[in-house]
Structures are given as structure tokens and as C-alpha cells.
């Protein structure tokens, strides 16, 4: 096997899993890299090829169609399309030497019973793209091509085209790594080249392997995007109080609340996610009560003063970390997520004590999953009222507060510092 061949094969398989089988990129990457048993360097190369191909999928697909007038039919061509897209990524985005990228693609084609018949096409297209492709790429409308038509229209209707372009631009950049410490900033002093954000979050630009960073093995910190850290902070002081954290895995908000001194009851339905939650909290040496149960079937012994529901959603606010999402989701997914969250929100409401606070959050940019969800909830539940946020709730960052008084972050916010995920959260008080 030549240098990089195993990495390219792994990247090809990851792309096929995502684009053909609709598997989430993270799961496909984890499984394939575990199976391939690559060196750390080759694993990093495979990850770079597959993730950047998907991050720039709209551009690479359009460019490929510029140079290949008629693409082969997938069921007859095997992984030909994946080989071409990955090859273009190597040539134009990763700056791999043309002879290495083209030879690597040819070797992948030769090893596949179907793609081997399209080896001349692959060879000719990539050689031409190596000469002419950068000019074509530079002339593209990268922001527009990076967002599928249905999603572009939705965001333009909701936020306007200028903001939609800013969101798309944020998605095209590699996201930094945000972490929070179990003992505040004291836990994070050993991290290299760290940028302090409000609320104790520290941002790393080029983190590399997470598990090799200082303090990870000792459980001094956990990974959590700055925007994702905001919903739990909307409770204010939780020291000594009980907080029910619903849909708790993977545990970032659970750790946040426990580190702030709360007694946390973490509720999670799926056994695999419960296992992840336990593993993460054990590394952090954080103790909470974990309940493995569908929250709709969970009835706490007593209602709690604080309840957090970070509901399952379309996750369109996390595209910069999950570049496969735009190409895997559809409008139907948004409607289904909104319907499911409505049921969960009703169940969560029953767990809130009198004068208690319910915080509802989603990592979605879609109004049906956010502000419209809360409008419907308040009509169904007159015993709750919206408690509008003030700039002090979000460290003075008033732009994070919507006209309705809720939290509304966008990937384009703090763009000069690396952006943030898109989150919506509402603070509701039982009256």
C-alpha cells in the first residue's frame, strides 16, 4: 500500500456512508477509522479529506459538473463520484501535490470492481482540474453553493439574505474548540494558545487531538461550544438547588450545572447515550443522579425549581461542526422534530415547581423549533410566562437576545473570534 492509500480508502468509505447510506458523519468517521486501524497521521488525513469534502460539498459538486458534462450513474459506477470529489478536495482545498492526488484516486478506482471502468474519466478529470480548477473555485459564489436551495430560502425568509450569507460563511470555516473547566479557569491554565471568552469558556484555535491536550485525561475540562453553554446559565445561581436536566447526554450542560453546585438529576432515554453520559461524567469526576428513562414516562418525586430541556432537533445550528447536516436533512425533518419537541416540552412543564423556571433550548436555526414552539406552548400552558432575558444574562452581548426576549445565537456572531453554534433558548417561569 502506497503512502496515504489507507487514508484515502477510509475517506472514500466515510463519504459513501454519508452520501449514500445517510449515516451521520461523526458515526461514519468513528466506525471507519476504528476499522481501518490507521496511524494517527493517516487518520488525520482521512478525516481532513472526508470532512472538508462535505464542508465544501456544494462547491465541489458544482465544480465537478463543470468539468464532467455527464456524471456516471451511481449504481453502475460504484464509488466513482466519491473518488472524484475527494480528489478535487485534495487538489484544491488541501493542496496535495497533483501527482499524489491523481495517483491516489487512480489506485482507489483500480481497487473497485465498478469504479475501475471509470478510471480513464477519473484520471482525465482530475488532471484537468489540477490545472484549471482553482480559477473555477475562486469564481464560485461559495456561500450560496454551500447551502441547499430549501435551506437557503428558509434562512433568507427568517433572517434576510445578508445574515444568511454570514451564516454560510461561518460554516465554511474550521470551527475552534471551546472548553469549560471543572474548577473554572484554574482547570484550563495548561491549555496552549487559549482565548478566554465570557463565562469561563476557553477557545483553542488549533487544538489537534482532544485526548492529547493537557488536563483531558485528568478530567479537568470538557468540550462545549460557547453558545451551548448559555442555556444552563439562564437559571442564574443554582448552588444547592435541584435541577432536572432532560435529554442530558452527552453531558456538557449536566457538568456545567453540577460544577455550579447544583444537585442534578440527568434524564436520558437511550442506553447508548446513557453510557456516553456516564463515561463523560466519570472522566470529569462529577457525580449526578442518572435516570435511564423516556422523559415522558419520568415523574420526579417532587417538582424541581429548575428544569432544563435541551430538546432533540434538526441541529441546523451546528452545521459548522457537522458539515454533513445540510445534505442529509429536509423540511420534513424540521416538522417532525418540532412535533416531537412539543410533546417533550409538555412533559417537562409538569416537572417544574411553583415559581420554578423551565429553560427550553434547541441547537436549531429554524423558527418552528424555537420561537414558534414557545408561542404554541404558552397558549397551551397559561400557568407559564416568558421571562425575557437581559444583557446581563448573556455577559452583555445584547445581540444574542431576540426581539421576543429569548436567546438567539447565530454561527456568524463573534465571527472575528471564530463564531459560535446557532442556539435558541427561552426562559419560562411557572406562575
The closest alpha carbon to 283, from 420, 187, 206, belongs to 187
Only one residue has cell 479557569, namely 185
Residue 314 sits at φ, ψ, to 5 deg, of -70, -20
**How many residues comprise the chain?**
431
Specify the DSSP element, H or E, that contains 110: helix 98-110
Catalytic residue among 89, 247, 337, 363: 363
| H runs (alpha helix) in 246-353 | 252-259, 271-284, 325-328, 331-349
Which long-range contacts link 183-188 to residues 24+ away (Cβ below 8 Å)? 183/220, 183/259, 187/215, 187/220, 187/221, 188/215, 188/220, 188/221
Take residue 75 and report the three cell numbers written for it: 449504481
Residue 80 to residues 87, 110, 118, 122, 189, Cα–Cα distance (Å)? 10, 11, 7, 8, 48
Residue 76 to residues 44, 57, 72, 85, 105, Cα–Cα distance (Å)? 30, 22, 7, 17, 18
Residue 89 designated active-site:
no
The closest alpha carbon to 102, from 70, 125, 133, belongs to 125
The closest alpha carbon to 225, from 180, 174, 266, belongs to 180
Say if residues 425 and 406 touch (Cβ distance below 8 Å): yes
**CA-based R_g, the chain, Å:** 23
Q: Is the peptide bond before 75 cis (omega within 30 degrees of 0)?
A: no
Residues sharing a CB contact under 8 Å with residue 22, sequence separation 6 or more, in sequence order: 328
The 10 Å Cβ neighbour count of residue 403 is: 7
Strand partners for 245: 266, 308
Give me the active site residues, please: 363
Amino acid at each position: 500500500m502506497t503512502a496515504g492509500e489507507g487514508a484515502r480508502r477510509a475517506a472514500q468509505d466515510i463519504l459513501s456512508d454519508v452520501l449514500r447510506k445517510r449515516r451521520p458523519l461523526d458515526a461514519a468517521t468513528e466506525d471507519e477509522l476504528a476499522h481501518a486501524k490507521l496511524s494517527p497521521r493517516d487518520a488525520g488525513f482521512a478525516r481532513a479529506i472526508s470532512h472538508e469534502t462535505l464542508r465544501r460539498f456544494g462547491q465541489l459538486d458544482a465544480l465537478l459538473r463543470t468539468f464532467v458534462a455527464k456524471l456516471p450513474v451511481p449504481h453502475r459506477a460504484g464509488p466513482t463520484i466519491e473518488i472524484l470529489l475527494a480528489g478535487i478536495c485534495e487538489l484544491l482545498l488541501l493542496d496535495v501535490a497533483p501527482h499524489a492526488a491523481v495517483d491516489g484516486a487512480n489506485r482507489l478506482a483500480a481497487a473497485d470492481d465498478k469504479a475501475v471502468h471509470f478510471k480513464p474519466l477519473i484520471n482525465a478529470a482530475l488532471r484537468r482540474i489540477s490545472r484549471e480548477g482553482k480559477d473555477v473555485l475562486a469564481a464560485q459564489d461559495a456561500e450560496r453553493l454551500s447551502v441547499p436551495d430549501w435551506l437557503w430560502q428558509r434562512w433568507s425568509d427568517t433572517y434576510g439574505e445578508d445574515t444568511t450569507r454570514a451564516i454560510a460563511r461561518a460554516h465554511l470555516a474550521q470551527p475552534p474548540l471551546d472548553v469549560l473547566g471543572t474548577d473554572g479557569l484554574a482547570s484550563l491554565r495548561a491549555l496552549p494558545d487559549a482565548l478566554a471568552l465570557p463565562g469561563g469558556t476557553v477557545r483553542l484555535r488549533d487544538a489537534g487531538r482532544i485526548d492529547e491536550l493537557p488536563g483531558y485525561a485528568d478530567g479537568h475540562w470538557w468540550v462545549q461550544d460557547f453558545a451551548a453553554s448559555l442555556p444552563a446559565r439562564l437559571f442564574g445561581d443554582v448552588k444547592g438547588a435541584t435541577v432536572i436536566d432532560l435529554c442530558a447526554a452527552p453531558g456538557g450542560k449536566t457538568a456545567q450545572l453540577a460544577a455550579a453546585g447544583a444537585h442534578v438529576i440527568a434524564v436520558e432515554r437511550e442506553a447508548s447515550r446513557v453510557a456516553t453520559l456516564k463515561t463523560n461524567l466519570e472522566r470529569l469526576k462529577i457525580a449526578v443522579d442518572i435516570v435511564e428513562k423516556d422523559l415522558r414516562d419520568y415523574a420526579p418525586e417532587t417538582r424541581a425549581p429548575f428544569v432544563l430541556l435541551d430538546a432533540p432537533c434538526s441541529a441546523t445550528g451546528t452545521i459548522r461542526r457537522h458539515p454533513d447536516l445540510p445534505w442529509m436533512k429536509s423540511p420534513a425533518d424540521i416538522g417532525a422534530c418540532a412535533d416531537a419537541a412539543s410533546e417533550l416540552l409538555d412533559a417537562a412543564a409538569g416537572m417544574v415547581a411553583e415559581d420554578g423556571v423551565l429553560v427550553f433550548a434547541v441547537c436549531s436555526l429554524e423558527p418552528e423549533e424555537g420561537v414558534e414552539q414557545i408561542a404554541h406552548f404558552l397558549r397551551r400552558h397559561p400557568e407559564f410566562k416568558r421571562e425575557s432575558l437581559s444583557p446581563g444574562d448573556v455577559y452583555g452581548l445584547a445581540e444574542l437576545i431576540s426581539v421576543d426576549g429569548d436567546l438567539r445565537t447565530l454561527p456568524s456572531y463573534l465571527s472575528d473570534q471564530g463564531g459560535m453554534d446557532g442556539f435558541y433558548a427561552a426562559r419560562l417561569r411557572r406562575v
